[in-house]
Structure 1
Amino acid sequence: MMRVRCRIRFLIAVGGLALGIPVAGCMQPGLVSWPAGSASVANSAGEEGPPARGRDPRVVPARLESAREREGPDRPEVSAAPLPPGGALEDEPRPSAVPGAMPLDACIRAALDGNATVRAARFNVEALRQRIPQVTALDDPILSNSIYPIPSVAPQYSLMGYMPYGALLAQQFPWCGTLRLRGLAAEKDVRIALFELAATELDAVAATKRAYHDLRYAERAEVLLIRNRKLASEFLEIARARYPTATASQPDVLRSEVAVTDIDREIEDNRAALADARAELARVMHADPEAELRTAPDLAVEGIPQPLDRLYQLALSARPDLQGRLAAIDRDEAAVALARKKAYPNVTLGVLYQDMEKTNAMTPQTAGGMPNVGLFVGMNLPVYRKKIAAGVCEAQARAAADRALYEAERDQSRRDIKALFALARSQQNVLAILRRSNLPAARQMLRLTASEYRSNVAGVDFLSVAAAWRDLLQVELQVARSEAELGKTIASLERGVGVQLNDSPPPAAAGGGPRP
C-alpha cells in the first residue's frame, strides 16, 4: 500500500489576513483530509470558496497538498525501525483478493468524507468564519422622527415659524482600533476551530485504523479456525477408522469429537467478534451497518519510529491540540487589548433636520419658514473605572488559564507518547519472539506428532496430537492478535504525535515553520 505523507494546510483569508495552519498527516494523493487534505475556508474578498448564494452549508471541500510543498524547517526527521524478518507466517495460506475488500486508505477516505463528527467540525469552522464580518462592521445607524401635528402645542419660533416635523440620523463609531481587535479575535476563533477540525480528523483516522485492524484480526482468525477445523476433522476420521481395529481407543474418538466441537464454538464466537468489528468500522465510516466490509490482504505491519525525543518535537510542532492552545493564547491577547479599549469613549455623529413653515405659525409676519439643518455629536462617558478594570482582569485571567491548559496538554501529550511508544516496543518484541521461536517450534512439533500419529507409531496417541495442534493454533492466533494490537498502538501513537510516523520527511525548506 503506497503511502504519501501529507501535511494539512488550512487556508483562510479574512479581513486581508491569510492564516496558514500546517498539520501533518498521511495518505495517498487526492484524499479528503488528515491524512487526506486541507480545509479551505473562503472570505468575502473573492478568494477560493463557494458563492454567497446557493449551496448551503457553504463549506469548501478539503484539499490535499504534498508534504514536500508544505514542509517547514522545524520539522524533525523520524526514521522507522524495520520489523524483524518473518512478517508473513510460514506455511500460512495467504488470503486471496476478496470481492468488496477495501484497502485501509479507502476506508480512511470514506471516514473523512462521511464521518458526522468531522462534518460537524467543518460546519463549525464555517459558522465562526461568518462571524468575522459581523464583529468588524459598525452598529446599525439610528434614525428618529418627531412629528408635531398640533400647532398650538408644537415648537414655535418667532423668526423661523412652526416646526411640524423633525428627524435625526446618527451613527456610533467605536474608539480607534476596536473593530480591528474584534476582527482579530474572531480570526483567532476561526484558527482554533481549524485546529479542532484537524484534531477531529486525526481522531477519525485513528479510529478507522483501529477498527480496521480489529476487523482484519477477526478475518484472519476465521481463516485459521476453519483451517484447523479441517485438521481436527481429519484426526477424527483417523480415530474412527482405527477404533474397529483396536489401534485407537474410544476416548480418542470422543476427544476428537470434542475437539471439533470446540473449534465450532470458537468459530461462532469469532463470527460475533467479526460482526462487531464490521459494525464499528461502518460507524466510523458513516456506512451501512449491514455492509459486508472486508479488509485488503496485503496490509503490512509498520515498524516503530525512533527515537523518542523526535516524537516529542513532532508533537510540539504538528499536534493540532497543542497548536489550538497556542491559537487560544493569541486570541486571549487580543481579548485583553479589546478590554482595555473600553476605557475610551465611543463617538456618535449625527445629522439634524427640522422642517419649518409659515402656515400655522404664531407670528407668520416674522417667520421665515426655512428648514433647519444641523450636526449632532455625542459620546459615552466611561466613568465606571472599576468595571473596566474588572473586564481587563477577567481577560488576563482567561489568558493565564489558556497558558496553563497548553502546558497541561503538552505534558499529557508527552505522557501519551511515551506510554504508547513503550507499549509498541513491547508488542513488537513479543511479535518477534512469536515469529522467531514459538511459531516455528509449534509447527515442527505438530508436523512430527501428526506424522507419527498417521503412521500409528507406538506411544503417540491423540492426546499428543491434540496438544501440539492446540499449541500451534494458539500461537497463530497470538501472532495475528499481536499484529493487530501493534497496528492499533501505532495508530494511537500517530494520533498523539499528529503525523504519519513511518515516512521520513524531506529536507527542511526555506521559510517560516510552525510555532514552537
Structure 2
Amino acid sequence: MTMVSLLTITLVLTTTASALGQKPATSTPTPLASLLAEAKRNNSGIKTANDAWRAAEQVPRQVSTLPDPTFTYQNMSVGSPRPFAGYTTNNFAYIGIGASQELPYPGKLRLRGEVAKRAADVKQADLDATMDSVADAVKVDYIRLAYLQKTLVILRENEKVLDQLIQDATAHYAVGQGSQADVLQAQVERTKILREITLNNEERGDAEAELKGLLHRDQDSPDIIAESLEEHPLLLTSAELLQLVRRQNPQIQVDASSIKEKNAALASAKRDGKPDFGLAYMWQQNDRKYPDYYMFTLNIHFHRRRRFHAKVAEAAEMLAQSKEELDSHLQEQLAQVQRGYVKVTNDEELLKEYREGLIPQSIAAYRSTLSSYASNRDVMTHVLLYFVNVLDMKLDEAQVLADHETVLAHLETLTGATLR
C-alpha cells in the first residue's frame, strides 16, 4: 500500500459522515414561523383580500337603510312663464313645498342587509383561504430552499473527496499501479458534481426569488437561510385527516359561506315580489286671499310577476350551484388528503429504508472497495462506482425527505391542522 493511498483512506473515511450528511449553514437560519408571520403582514395578495373584506363589511348598512328622502319646491305661475306670475290674481298660482319617501315592503331591507352580510362573510372566508394559500406557498418554498441547502453541502463535500481521489488515481498512475482512464473517469465524476452545484445554485436563486416575492421583500435583500430539513412524522390517521377536511378546509369554508349567502339571496328574492310604497306630502301656499292647498300622496308599486318569478328561479339555481360546488370541492379535497396520506406514510417507510439499510450498506460497500483499491486489489472504476452510488442514495434520501415535508405542508393547508 502506498503512502498516498494511506492518506486517501484517512481523508475519505474520516470525511464520509460529513460528506454524505448535512452541515449547518454558516449564516443564522430564519425560522419558518418568522417567515409565515412576515408573509401574513406584508403579502400583497393577503392585503388585497383584506381590503375586499373590509369594503364588503360596509355594504349591509347601505342596502338595509331606507332610500334617500326627496324634498320638493314648486312654483306654479299663471298667465306668464315668469316666476310668481298670477300669484296675487289667480288662485291656481302657488308656491309648493313637499317631501316624499319610498318605503320598501316590511322585511325587504332586513333581508337585503342579510344578503350583504353573508357576502361579507364570503369575503372573510376568501381572506382566510388566501392566507392559508400564501402560507402553503411559503412552506413549500422554504422546504425547497432547505432541501437545496442540504444537497449543496452534500455536493461540495463530495467534490472535496473526489479531488482527493483524483490525486490518488494520479499518484497510482504515476507509479504504474493504475491507468489514465481512472484519472479521467474521476475527473468526469467531479465535473458532474460541478454541474449539479451549478444547477443547485440556479434552483436556490429561483426559490429565494419566489419566497421574497411572497414576503414582499426586495429581490436584492440578503439571502434567506432555512433551518435544517428534518422529518416530521405524521401522527394523525387517514380518518382523522378526512374529518378535519370537512370541518376546517379553507375552500370548504368559502363554499359553506357562499351557500349561506345564496340562501339569504333566495329569501330576499321571494320577498322582493311584495309591493313597495311611496309617501309624499305637499303644502301649496297661495296669496293670503286664497286658501292654501295640502296634498298627501300614497303610491303602491306592484312588481310584474314574470320578472319576480324569474328572479326567484335564478336565486334558487344559484343556491343549487353553490351546493354542487361545495360537494365537488369536498370530494376533491378529500381525494387530495387521501393521496397525501398515502404519499407521506410511504415516504416515511422509504426514509427508514434509506437510513437503516440502503445508505449504511452503500457506505460499507464503498469503504470496502476503497480499502481494496488502496491495497492495489481493486481498480478506481469500482471505487467511483460505489462512490457515486452512495452519493445518489444520499441525494435520493434528501429528495424523499423534501417530498415528505412538502406533502405534509399541503396536508396542513387542506386540514387546517398543525402537522409540522
TM-score over 0.5 (shorter chain)? yes
Aligned partners of 1:140, 1:294: CA distance in 2, in Å? 56
What whole-Å deviation, never above 9, does each CA across 1:468-492 have from its counterpart, x for those lacking one?
A: 1111111111111111111111111
Aligned twin of 2:5:
none
What whole-Å deviation, never above 9, does each CA across 1:149-182 have from its counterpart, x for those lacking one?
A: 4456889899993533223210111111111101
What whole-Å deviation, never above 9, does each CA across 1:387-441 have from its counterpart, x for those lacking one?
A: 2112111111111111111111111111111111112222222122111111111
1:124 to 12, 35, 52: 52
Q: If the length of structure 2 is used for normalisation, what is the TM-score? A: 0.89
What whole-Å deviation, never above 9, does each CA across 1:361-406 have from its counterpart, x for those lacking one?
A: xxxxxx34x5434433222123x22221121111111111111111
Indicate conservation of the 8 Å contact 2:273/2:305, yes or no. Answer: yes
1:346 to 261, 276, 281: 276
Indicate conservation of the 8 Å contact 1:95/1:297, yes or no. Answer: no
What whole-Å deviation, never above 9, does each CA across 1:87-108 have from its counterpart, x for those lacking one?
A: xx96555533532521111121
Gaps of 5+ in 2: 1-15
Q: Secondary structure in 1 aligned to 2:227?
A: coil
Which structure's residues are more often helix, by fraction? 2
CA drift of 1:228 comes to 0.4
> Which residue identity does 1:483 align to in structure 2?
L
Q: If the length of structure 1 is used for normalisation, what is the TM-score? A: 0.73
> Which residue identity does 1:451 align to in structure 2?
S
> Which residue identity does 1:237 align to in structure 2?
Q
1:443 to 363, 377, 386: 363
Aligned partners of 1:97, 1:274: CA distance in 2, in Å? 14
1:250 to 180, 183, 188: 180
Query: Given the superposition, is the C-alpha separation of residues 464 and 304 from structure 1 closer, same or farther in structure 2, using an over 3 Å criterion?
Result: same
Query: Given the superposition, is the C-alpha separation of residues 226 and 90 from structure 1 closer, same or farther in structure 2, using an over 3 Å criterion?
Result: closer
Aligned twin of 2:406:
488
Query: Given the superposition, is the C-alpha separation of residues 152 and 230 from structure 1 closer, same or farther in structure 2, using an over 3 Å criterion?
Result: closer
Aligned twin of 1:9:
none
Q: Secondary structure in 2 aligned to 1:295?
A: coil
Aligned partners of 1:244, 1:162: CA distance in 2, in Å? 128
Aligned twin of 1:372:
293
Indicate conservation of the 8 Å contact 1:112/1:118, yes or no. Answer: yes
CA drift of 1:314 comes to 0.8
Q: Secondary structure in 2 aligned to 1:306?
A: coil
- Are residues 1:181 and 2:115 paired? no
Query: Given the superposition, is the C-alpha separation of residues 371 and 342 from structure 1 closer, same or farther in structure 2, using an over 3 Å criterion?
Result: same
1:101 to 2, 14, 29: 29
Aligned partners of 2:252, 2:376: CA distance in 1, in Å? 69
Aligned twin of 1:274:
204
Percent identity over the alignment is 24
CA drift of 1:145 comes to 2.5
Aligned partners of 1:178, 1:331: CA distance in 2, in Å? 15
Aligned partners of 1:179, 1:386: CA distance in 2, in Å? 22
Residue correspondences, number: 402
Aligned twin of 1:209:
139
> Which residue identity does 1:445 align to in structure 2?
A
Aligned twin of 1:409:
329
Indicate conservation of the 8 Å contact 1:347/1:379, yes or no. Answer: yes
Q: Secondary structure in 1 aligned to 2:286?
A: strand
Aligned twin of 2:166:
236
Aligned partners of 2:92, 2:108: CA distance in 1, in Å? 43
Indicate conservation of the 8 Å contact 1:424/1:490, yes or no. Answer: yes
CA drift of 1:146 comes to 2.0
> Which residue identity does 1:191 align to in structure 2?
D
Which structure's residues are more often strand, by fraction? 1
Answer with 1 or 2: which has the greater Rg.
Answer: 2
Indicate conservation of the 8 Å contact 2:143/2:405, yes or no. Answer: yes
1:356 to 286, 290, 303: 286
> Which residue identity does 2:200 align to in structure 1?
N
Indicate conservation of the 8 Å contact 1:101/1:293, yes or no. Answer: no
Indicate conservation of the 8 Å contact 1:104/1:295, yes or no. Answer: no
Q: How does 1:459-478 map to 2 (within 5 A)?
A: 459-478=377-396
Aligned partners of 1:213, 1:157: CA distance in 2, in Å? 87
Query: Given the superposition, is the C-alpha separation of residues 379 and 356 from structure 1 closer, same or farther in structure 2, using an over 3 Å criterion?
Result: same
Aligned partners of 2:164, 2:92: CA distance in 1, in Å? 117
Indicate conservation of the 8 Å contact 1:124/1:193, yes or no. Answer: yes
Aligned twin of 2:8:
none
Q: Secondary structure in 2 aligned to 1:475?
A: helix
Aligned twin of 1:57:
none
Indicate conservation of the 8 Å contact 2:173/2:179, yes or no. Answer: yes
Indicate conservation of the 8 Å contact 1:279/1:290, yes or no. Answer: no
Indicate conservation of the 8 Å contact 1:335/1:395, yes or no. Answer: yes
Aligned partners of 1:421, 1:323: CA distance in 2, in Å? 22
Aligned twin of 1:501:
419
Q: Secondary structure in 1 aligned to 2:175?
A: coil
RMSD of the TM alignment (CA)? 2.4
Query: Given the superposition, is the C-alpha separation of residues 244 and 138 from structure 1 closer, same or farther in structure 2, using an over 3 Å criterion?
Result: same
Q: Secondary structure in 2 aligned to 1:485?
A: helix
Query: Given the superposition, is the C-alpha separation of residues 462 and 299 from structure 1 closer, same or farther in structure 2, using an over 3 Å criterion?
Result: closer
- Are residues 1:167 and 2:87 paired? no
Indicate conservation of the 8 Å contact 2:138/2:211, yes or no. Answer: yes
